[in-house]
Amino acid sequence: MKLVAAASLLLVSAALAEEGFKPLFNGHDLTGWVNINCAPNTFTVTNGLIHCTGVPTGILRTEKMYQNFVLEADWRHLKPKGNSGIYVWADPIPAVGQPFVRAVEVQVLDGQEGDWFTSDGDVFPIHGAKMVPENGRKGGVRAFPTEKRMKPSPEWNHYRVECIDGDISLAVNGKIVTRGHQATPRKGYIGLESEGSPAEFRNLQVKEIPTKVGLLSQDIAVPPEPFYPIYTGVDLSGWKVTPEISQHWLVHDWTLAHDGAGPALISQEEIGNFILSADFRWSDPANPGDWRQLVGTRLGDALAKALPSPAPAEKKAGEWNRLRLSVLGKTVYVTLNGQPILTNVTISGKPAHGPLSLQSTGKKVEWANLLLREAN
């Protein structure tokens, strides 16, 4: 078996050299990939494959952006009716209040079909991306396959995805079945999706195609930042946990729910300069809280006192907000839903390091996409 496997690898390597493909996965580790918002063990390398547990819902993406390219990949679901996806031209961080990113998704689904989806290779834009589908239905943006060529779990399927100047085509097991056009963005990251069921990927290869014209800024994914998730979606690792904390702070896949009671959730790590990006929404629209009190830092209550209330950028209770907080020395920057709230405000007399906390405000709140980066 080992000799057969080695021979197969040599054949794959020869094919790559002939056709100009380069491997996206080295078969040993996830070098070249970035965990956007999953647990450390959601995507792992097992027996030379990328294994995905399916929990939590989230994305693994490439470190590199791609514009015009051909992607080839094998995938399989380990259980019937599994759900996953391959993303192209994707943003590097999740959309607001979503575990997914803005991208064009190539569906990886097994044994499910309805009026608005199939398990045969649908292609569609998500969370702000755009695309004109071929073989669409009822004026929607989803491109439907023209043939059923998919093999059921646990068999392997082969995808060939061609992405050229905003046009996309998907070949399933050797034949093109789905097409879309005029996609935007049309330069971004390649991603693998975790969505509730175990799946595996292998033979991920990419061939870049020369571009002839430049792109407008709106056709390019947002710039990357070295964020890392501080909430795993499976437990409260990285936070100080007590029985009381576990009673009031509840892990719900990609969201973290707080019932408004009990103590604050405090990080185990003490941090200095940082940038936090976090999504929140008040769970009870009839009883929202004060957003200024949500995040605790080494600045103590001085930060909350410096924030205006109400903030004109805050969305109504029940809708997701994105908070971005930068603490650089004694200087603070805050944006809410992309609008500046505090800019270059100095708060003096505070320690250089301290834990981060999600505060208990007495109001029910949900958190998502808790991403942190260290800053100079």
Token pair of 96, please? 């607001």
Res. 7: pLDDT tops 80:
no
Q: CATH homologous superfamily of domain 2-222?
A: Exo-inulinase; domain 1 (2.60.120.560)
Q: Which tens digit of pLDDT belongs to each residue from 105-140?
A: 999 999 999 889 999 999 999 999 999 999 999 889
Beta bridge partners of 374: 274
Cα–Cα distance measured from residue 247 to residue 357, given in angstroms and rounded to the nearest whole number: 17
Q: Which of 57, 55, 142 minimizes the C-alpha distance to 104?
A: 142
- The reply to whether 2-222 and 229-374 are identical in fold is yes
The 3-state DSSP class for residue 14 equals helix
Looking at residue 18, what is its pLDDT? 46
**What is the pLDDT at residue 331?**
92
172-186 pLDDT per residue, tens: 999 999 999 999 999
What is the b/e burial string over 330-359, where b = at least 16 CB atoms within 10 angstroms of the residue's CB?
Answer: eebbbbbbeeebbeeeebeeeeeebbbbbb
Q: Which of 129, 146, 128, 148 is nearest to 137 (CA)?
A: 146
Q: What residue ranges do the domains of the chain occupy?
A: 2-222, 229-374
- CA atoms in the 13 A half-sphere facing the CB of 140: 15
CATH says 229-374 is which class? mainly beta
Helix (H, G, I), strand (E, B) or coil at 137: coil
> Whole-model pTM?
0.92
Closest CA to 260 of 289, 286, 285: 289
pLDDT (tens digit, 9 = 90+) per residue, 198-247?
999 999 999 999 998 889 999 999 999 999 999 999 999 999 999 999 99
- Give the number of C-alpha atoms closer than 13 A to the C-alpha of residue 277, restricted to the C-beta side: 21
Six token digits for residue 351: 């320690």
